[in-house]
Amino acid sequence: MSEFAKGEVWLVGAGPGDAGLLTLHAVEALRAADVVVHDALVSAEVLEYAAGAELVHLGKRGGQPSPKQPEINARLIAEARAGRRVVRLKGGDPFMFGRGTEEVLALVAAGVRFRVVPGITAGIGGLAYAGIPVTSRDVNSSVIFLTGHDHTGLSPEGIDWAAVGRAAGMIVLYMAMRHMGEIAEKLMAGGLAADTPVAVVMRASTPQMRVLDTTLEKAAADIAESGIGAPAIVSIGRGNLLRAQMAWG
Ligand code: SAH
């Protein structure tokens, strides 16, 4: 792999939690880093690989005060300009609802050298831990990834949920827990059957993983009753039924 030079920022995907899902590039970068700026989703197990680095927790946390993106960008740029090897470590993959784009563009504008180390996203690898394949030939041959809220924390009004329901055999939702009732209503109003299987996978790939099997109609009530909460991935579609045979965790 290329040398991690002083003054560079590496944007690294940490995967959904299980440190075994880190890439070799990620592990090498964490070992070589002077400073690791990580978000709230990165697991303690993953951070152990950065034992020699200063750890800085800067990330978005749903519903709580969190650092503003310009503040994060400025910190990355300042650390790089101080001549340090900087890892920006993000849960899952940096470009899957991870604001990796904003950070890379800020580095580009500042003239800071960077590289990207992709990671395993929760909406694919995390679901696999629950025995849910995001595609499979005969059941769900297509998949759509969506976020359940926009940057304001509201559910995205701009989304045509009826079109989403028709678009793919499997709908994978990130950050959807607070709006599941509303989203399910809109999908059913758009034509998806009330008994469409829904799986909610909380803290996927970690020892705290919990899975709730429900349906579109019952999702919001079952989530409330089960106490299952963020971070969780929601998958909607018949592919969830394969879990009955394919769950291995
Ligand atoms: N870049 C990340 C996603 C960031 S958005 C990725 O590629 O996975 C944050 C959302 O990701 C959470 O609200 C949740 O929906 C999902 N998420 C991240 N890690 C998760 C995990 N271990 N288990 C379940 N959901 C997870």
Whether omega before 231 lies within 30 degrees of 0, making that bond cis, reads yes
Does residue 239 fall inside a structural domain? yes
Other CB atoms closer than 10 Å to residue 27's CB: what's the count? Answer: 16
Total residues belonging to the chain: 249
Does residue 3 fall inside a structural domain? no
Ligand 1 centre and the CA of 17: distance in Å? 9
Ligand 1 centre and the CA of 213: distance in Å? 18
Task: Indicate whether 128 and 238 sit together in one domain.
Answer: yes
| Residue 213 lies in domain | 123-246
Q: What is the mean pLDDT of residues 42-68?
A: 86
Distance CA 196, CA 210 (A): 20
pTM for this model (two decimals): 0.95
Question: Average pLDDT, whole number, for the chain?
Answer: 94
Atom of ligand 1 nearest to the CA of 203: 23
Does residue 40 fall inside a structural domain? yes
Q: Cβ(175) to ligand 1 under 6 A?
A: yes
Q: What is the mean pLDDT of residues 184-212?
A: 97
Q: What is the mean pLDDT of residues 5-10?
A: 98
Look at residue 22 in the predicted model and tell me its pLDDT: 98
Q: Which residues are tagged catalytic?
A: 39, 60, 175
Look at residue 109 in the predicted model and tell me its pLDDT: 98
Best substitution site from 155, 211, 233, 235 to test ligand 1's pocket, by max atoms within 8 Å of Cβ?
Answer: 233
Q: What is the mean pLDDT of residues 210-224?
A: 98
Domain end residue (candidates: 86, 120, 154): 120
Ligand 1 centre and the CA of 125: distance in Å? 10
Tokens of 139: 């059941």
Best substitution site from 38, 97, 127, 151 to test ligand 1's pocket, by max atoms within 8 Å of Cβ?
Answer: 97
Dump the DSSP string for 49-111.
GGTTSEEEE----TTS----HHHHHHHHHHHHHTT--EEEEESB-TTSSS-HHHHHHHHHHHT
Look at residue 23 in the predicted model and tell me its pLDDT: 98
pLDDT tens across 106-128, in order?
999 999 999 999 999 999 999 99
Tokens of 103: 């950070």
Q: Cβ(129) to ligand 1 under 6 A?
A: no
For tokens 């045979």, name the residue: 245
Look at residue 150 in the predicted model and tell me its pLDDT: 67
Q: What is the mean pLDDT of residues 218-244?
A: 97
How many domains in the chain? 2
Q: Whose CA is nearest to atom 13 of ligand 1?
A: 175
Residue 1 reports pLDDT greater than 70: no
pLDDT tens across 58-91, in order?
976 655 667 889 999 999 999 999 999 999 999 9
Ligand 1 centre and the CA of 232: distance in Å? 6
Look at residue 148 in the predicted model and tell me its pLDDT: 87
pLDDT tens across 135-192, in order?
999 899 999 999 987 666 666 677 899 999 999 999 999 999 999 999 999 999 999 9
CATH number at residue 162: 3.30.950.10
Residue 11 reports pLDDT greater than 80: yes
User: Burial code of 31-68, b = ≥16 C-beta within 10 A, e = fewer?
Assistant: ebbbbbbbbebbbeebbebbeebeebeebbeeeeeeee
Q: What is the mean pLDDT of residues 208-223?
A: 98
